[in-house]
Amino acid sequence: MSTKGRGRPRTYDSDAALGAALEVFWERGFAATSLDDISAATGMARPSLYAAFGNKKSIYRKSIDKFNREFLGQLEAVLFAGTGIENDLVNFYLAALPTYRSGDRVARGCPVICTATVEAAVDDTIQGDLAAAFDHIDGALVARFEQAQADGELPGSAVPSRLGMLAAALLHSLAVRMRVRQKGFQAEQFVRASVGEILKT
């Protein structure tokens, strides 16, 4: 008597699944997102989600990590384009705007800054993830200012570490302001004026 095989397991695209999960977290936040929401967005049953990515927190952290690697990689390429410190900085922020403006109903800002900051207050692991992301941004900006100083674009009295944190704070502010949709806020003008002020510091 012959027996039927169990058949091949369903395959899934890990990057696509994490991207779909991120969309839900980005829209609703971590706490308001359920595994059923993630299951519906990814097309994966809950047991498959657990097997592939772990629990909800694990899915969240992996989706945020994927976003950070891709998004920050794109921004760093612009930051170190070599068109001059002012142009590179302006283009760095402008490159972030399409992502911050994305969303069918509202501009969603940054999925990391606009969701992880809430969870960081009560979850040490997510707090550590967020701190690492901030450190990464700070480090890239400090390195760019150090390069500009070495090239003679900044005076010897400039302090790259201070400028890097100011420049990072501008990115954080831009991410939040885009989500808030502050009336009358003009992102491009805000960026250009702020970069000018940072470089005067």
Task: Give the pLDDT band (50/70/90) at residue 2.
Answer: very low
Report the SS3 class of residue 83: coil
Residue 72's CB is within 10 A of a number of other CB atoms, namely 17
Query: pLDDT, tens digit, for every residue of 31-64?
Result: 999 999 999 999 999 999 999 999 999 999 999 9
Lowest mean pLDDT among 1-5, 42-46, 65-69, 168-172: 1-5
Q: For the whole model, what pTM was predicted?
A: 0.89
Q: Given a cut of 60, is residue 191 above it in pLDDT?
A: yes
CB 126 within 8 A of CB 119: yes
Domains defined for the chain, CATH in brackets: 64-200 (1.10.357.10)
What does the alpha-carbon distance between residue 121 and residue 45 come to, in Å, rounded to a whole number?
31
pLDDT attached to residue 11: 62
